Amino acid sequence: MSAVLASRLRMVPLSHRDLDEILAIENGVYPFPWTRGNFVDSLASGYLVWGCRVADELVGYFVLMMALDEAHLLNLSIAEKRQGTGFGARLLCHAMRAAHQAGATSLLLEVRPSNTSALALYRHFGFQQIGVRRGYYPAEKGLEDALVMRHVLGRVSV
């Protein structure tokens, strides 16, 4: 990511008024995307929904659910044209910080085994696989498992 681009980057809380932009990204990157209702429910439930903006462009977002001292990263998505440029790492670091500041001692997530770029990102940041949810995700030919990963939170840098 260039220094000029990084200097224009802002992490911002998202709301109902951002749903069209969120859905444009979601529908552009997933064959089985979340629905508008999934995002509306997340916002209504008080989940942390943050986005990464460069100038006025929403380039990615995450949805984080808190449960006592544990956080669950429900969704982290980067616009297709912005993937592989460091925005995923920036959003993940922000999600980890937000979870830690909200009192979480660990962060859980599920990821498709076929999503090798996401797996590499999570492993880079120290997430460890702790389980498998069989048949968790819809897939082109049936169902795909989910790898359950966990990261013990502490100081987060980057």
109 contacts 72 by C-beta, under 8 angstroms: yes
**E strand or H helix at 146, and its extent?**
strand 142-152
Q: Any catalytic annotation for residue 80?
A: no
Q: Which of 21, 26, 47, 122 is catalytic?
A: 122
Q: Which residue shows structure tokens 């897939």?
A: 139
Q: Any catalytic annotation for residue 30?
A: no
Q: In sequence order, which residues have a C-beta less than 8 Å from that of residue 117 and are 6 or more positions away? A: 83, 84, 88
**What does the DSSP 8-state code read for residue 153?**
-
Q: Tokens standing for 83?
A: 């993937």
CA atoms of 33 and 25, how far apart (whole Å)? 9
CA atoms of 82 and 104, how far apart (whole Å)? 29
Task: Catalogue the active-site residues.
Answer: 110, 122
